[in-house]
Amino acid sequence: MKECEQCKNTRDNPNHYNIHSMGCPYCCARTLWKLRRWAKQYPERVSAYKARAEQLIQRLPWYGLDESYVQKLSKSDAMPVQPEPKPEKSSGKR
Ligand SMILES: [Zn+2]
């Protein structure tokens, strides 16, 4: 999986969250994660947040993403973000 630019930006700056890549399961999970938090924070807007989450979930198959996987990611305590890619493995010899 190639590195997601928006996840990288979020790792560099956790407050950077307005932009997300729709093809990335972590970005979609991050959006759901935030909508859920906002819904708790602003109960008067719950229905609006729920509608946005529904809309996003409905689009997941269109982006080629597995809903149950994105849902699972979105339920973690920490904000979902693509893990930093591991550096290329060296030859293995020390
Ligand atoms: Zn991403």
pLDDT tens per residue across span 38-60? 999 999 999 999 999 999 999 99
Domain assignment present for residue 88? The answer is: no
Domain assignment present for residue 92? The answer is: no
Domain assignment present for residue 52? The answer is: yes
Domain assignment present for residue 80? The answer is: no
For residue 16, pLDDT over 70 is answered with no
Q: What pLDDT, on a 0 to 100 scale, did the predictor assign at position 91?
A: 57
One-letter identity of residue 9? N
Task: Of 6, 62, 3, 12, give the one whose Cα is nearest residue 31.
Answer: 6
Domain assignment present for residue 26? The answer is: yes
Domain assignment present for residue 67? The answer is: yes
Domain count, the chain: 1
Region 79-92 average pLDDT = 77
Please indicate whether residue 1 or residue 73 has the higher confidence score (pLDDT): 73
Domain assignment present for residue 10? The answer is: no
Domain assignment present for residue 85? The answer is: no
Please indicate whether residue 85 or residue 18 has the higher confidence score (pLDDT): 85
Task: Tell how far the Cα of 74 is from the centroid of ligand 1, in angstroms.
Answer: 12
Region 16-26 average pLDDT = 76
Instruction: List the shell of residues around ion ligand 1, using CB closer than 5 Å.
Output: 4, 6-7, 21, 24, 26-27
User: Where in the sequence is the domain holding 54, given as residue range(s)?
Assistant: 17-74
